[in-house]
Chains A and B, each alone.
Chain A
């Protein structure tokens, strides 16, 4: 099934090719280092979700995780997080320019001081990876943990790597 219309913003450097041992992996993000997502290695343990929600100050609430593990058939899982799109819908719709590229990590980062909580970015992200927190009433997304993503650090299957 198609996740987004043909006109969707293109992720920075996704090579939607094979992942796993021999094949080139799905690459998300930066020029220098990238969060490499390898669904073929994923065992569906959701440690990444837990690590993410802890890393972002939540009391370990999985609902706040900015990475998600989705079942994709018999013993198959796909981890999805923000693709740090080059021409990002979230940044484009933001009426107050609260979403900007971090020059160092190349992640798109929400400034919580600038976000006014209108919720437009959540509605607009074609991949469902902008999250509007109903308690803080601010937008939340993957910020690559400022250059040391917890999801990759804790993945026991090496299905996520930051390299």
Chain B
């Protein structure tokens, strides 16, 4: 059953328990967010999605990605306090990821200038430790990534620091990374990511890479399509289909 929440005094419909950030975005409100992804649980890591709760027992500024919609909830998405807190959080993220284009663009837009120096060793360059890659990798069933270490020493990478057994080289971690800090290298021969190299399964028509062998094996085992579905590349499948349709038409 649908409920109503109020965003900047505007009434918006939602499902109970939906992420307030998701509801707000759907209604066209522009709330900055880096570590949020619809496919996985939110953990409120980047702290840019701050909004102010104006109803209920616990009013105040809070992250919206992991806030659940409840009937009658009232929030505002903009105020001097919200802006101040978002700016502070951005400044801290910039210490981790001074070179990240996304962060620099936000900083330029919000007039944020970092007052502190980045620590000498920040781990993977431009990683903000939001663990979105870790969460997505787990949701896909590969469980190849983890946050290792605590405090200043915290890093994201293959669990136990060794090439992870579960990694199939799909590259979803890179796809969702908000600062695009994960390095993946494709050569005609193989794909390299997280210190591992993956051979490609090749198109049986033209020899171009289709998918990594390991990703293909995982998909066949877990997702239930016949093996030969992964044997031909996108352009070759298209021309095969066109010839098939042509033979029907003429």
Interface hub of A3, A113, A116, A128 (most chain B Cβ within 10 A): A116
Q: Is the beta-carbon distance between A93 and B239 smaller than 8 angstroms? A: no
A-contact bits for B202-217, CB 8 A (1 contact / 0 none): 0000000011000110
Of B172, B223, B237, B248, which one neighbours A128 at CB under 8 angstroms?
A: B237
* Contacting residues, chain B, for A56 (C-beta < 8 A): none
Q: Are B176 and A116 in contact (CB under 8 A)?
A: yes
Give the contact stretch, choosing among B108-116, B159-167, B224-232: B224-232
Interface residue count on the A side (C-beta < 8 Å): 48
Count: A-B pairs, CB below 8 Å: 148
Q: Which residue of B lies closest to A38 (CB)?
A: B249
Contacts of A3 in B (CB 8 A): 237, 240-241, 243-244
A117 touches B176 (CB 8 A): yes
| Chain A stretch 128-151: residues in CB contact (< 8 A) with chain B | 128-131, 137-138
Given contacts A3-B240, A138-B175, contact A78 B230 (CB under 8 A): no
A113 lies within 8 A of B140 (CB): no
Among B171, B237, B244, the one with the most A-chain Cβ atoms within 10 Å of its Cβ is B237
- Contact call B141/A76, Cβ cutoff below 8 A: no
Proximity bits, B21-55, A CB within 8 Å = 1, else 0: 01001000000000001110000000000000000
**Can you report 22 A-B residue pairs in the complex whose CB atoms are below 8 A from each other?**
A1-B247, A7-B226, A20-B249, A39-B245, A70-B242, A72-B242, A78-B246, A92-B223, A95-B223, A96-B140, A116-B39, A116-B139, A117-B171, A118-B170, A118-B172, A119-B215, A123-B210, A124-B223, A126-B229, A128-B241, A131-B234, A137-B175
List chain A positions with a Cβ less than 8 A from chain B: 1-5, 7, 16-20, 26, 39-40, 68, 70, 72-73, 76, 78, 80, 89, 92-93, 95-96, 98, 111, 113-120, 122-131, 137-138
